[in-house]
């Protein structure tokens, strides 16, 4: 994978499913990260081909619970992000999915209590030996590239030291979120500290933090010297942020996302969550629309709410052939 001058969709839990990744790519995202999947969950999965939707699904054994799904169309750009605290388990999980994705990425930046208490995410930042063990084990045993995404440490010097240690392990790129563990999204991202990492490394750095408009891609790139730029909330609120033509109206993007969710049979809970995040940012969930979404139990219910019933049944009746029909897409 080429990491120079790329627009990157960040990993986002409940948002970064196949339907949203395909939407982001259609608007111009070059690399699309999936939502973080915990290794404990993936090792309980088996791979299945879903002929009806044209996808490869990783399903929890003994259930119909789809943990991760992908398709051939995104194989060259999709990054599988994993939460882990154990090298052996990380390898076992990676071996299940590695033939269907472009890259395996280790989450070393999530500050949420669930991740930190489990020794995953940002908890790894203070465990360089474990980082070494995980990355070295994966690189030694996998044929796909292995990368990671980190946060800033307490001091710029500490961040640079860790980044250099990671670089020595042979990763092809490093994503850096310009916030520390204690920082919240409302706190400004520290682009200057990302720049310190860029200056210290020879591998491409992907800068992440406070990219909310298309012009921010060039702004953060100029400010940090990063090779590529990653966006999270800005894309969640309006995936057309990736388009050089300018943003589409969020209502149009919302409906297009629902069409993708129907097309790729996205989990209804993830679909509702993502739509509600769009509405909460641009409008208000207390209006009738938000209340109706809360009542929806299926994708068909959502299709009915947005006058997409004909589209829903066209997809259900034609199946994977719809992926090649422009009028349906």
Annotation says 110 is catalytic: yes
Residue partners of 105: CB distance under 8 A and separation at least 6: 11, 33, 79, 80, 81, 82, 146, 147, 148, 149, 175
The one-character DSSP state at 101 is S
Residue for token pair 């992926």: 323
Quickly list H helices, the chain. Answer: 18-27, 39-42, 87-97, 113-117, 128-141, 156-168, 191-200, 214-224, 233-237, 250-263, 268-282, 288-295, 299-305, 309-318
Residue partners of 69: CB distance under 8 A and separation at least 6: 17, 18, 50, 53, 55, 56, 57, 58, 264
Residue for token pair 């799904």: 69
Among residues 98, 110, 148, 284, which one is catalytic? Answer: 110
Query: Count of CB atoms within 10 A of residue 203's CB?
Result: 16
Is the backbone of residue 78 left (phi > 0), alpha (psi -120 to 50) or beta?
A: beta
Task: Look up residue 176 and give its two tokens.
Answer: 């850096």
C-alpha span between 25 and 17 (Å, rounded): 12
Strand partners, 38: 83
Query: Count of CB atoms within 10 A of residue 146's CB?
Result: 25
Catalytic residues: 110
């Amino acid at each position: 994978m080429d990491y120079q001058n790329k627009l990157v969709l960040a990993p986002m839990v409940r948002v970064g499913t196949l339907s949203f990744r395909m939407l982001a790519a259609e608007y111009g995202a070059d690399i699309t990260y999936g939502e973080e999947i915990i290794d404990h969950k993936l090792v309980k999965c088996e791979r299945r081909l879903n002929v009806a939707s044209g996808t490869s699904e990783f399903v929890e054994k003994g259930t119909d619970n789809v943990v991760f799904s992908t398709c051939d169309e995104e194989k060259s750009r999709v990054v599988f992000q994993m939460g882990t605290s154990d090298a052996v388990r990380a390898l076992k999980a990676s071996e299940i999915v590695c033939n269907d994705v472009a890259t395996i990425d280790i989450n070393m930046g999530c500050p949420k209590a669930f991740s930190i208490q489990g020794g995953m995410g940002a908890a790894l930042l203070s465990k360089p030996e474990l980082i070494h063990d995980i990355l070295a084990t994966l690189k030694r045993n996998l044929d796909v590239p292995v990368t990671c995404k980190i946060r800033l440490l307490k001091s710029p010097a500490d961040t640079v030291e860790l980044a250099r240690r990671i670089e020595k392990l042979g990763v092809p790129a490093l994503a850096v979120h310009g916030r520390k563990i204690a920082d919240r999204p409302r706190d400004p991202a520290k682009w200057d500290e990302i720049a310190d990492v860029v200056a210290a490394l020879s591998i491409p750095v992907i800068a992440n933090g406070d990219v909310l408009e298309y012009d921010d891609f060039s702004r953060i790139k100029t400010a940090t010297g990063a090779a590529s730029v990653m966006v999270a909330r800005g894309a969640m609120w309006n995936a057309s942020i990736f388009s050089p033509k300018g943003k589409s109206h969020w209502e149009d993007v919302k409906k297009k996302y629902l069409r993708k969710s129907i097309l790729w049979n996205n989990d209804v809970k993830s679909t509702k969550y993502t739509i509600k995040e769009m509405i909460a940012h641009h409008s208000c969930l207390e209006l009738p629309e938000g209340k109706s979404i809360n009542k929806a139990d299926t994708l068909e219910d959502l299709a009915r709410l947005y006058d997409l019933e004909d589209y829903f049944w066209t997809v259900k009746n034609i199946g994977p052939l719809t992926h090649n029909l422009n009028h349906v897409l």
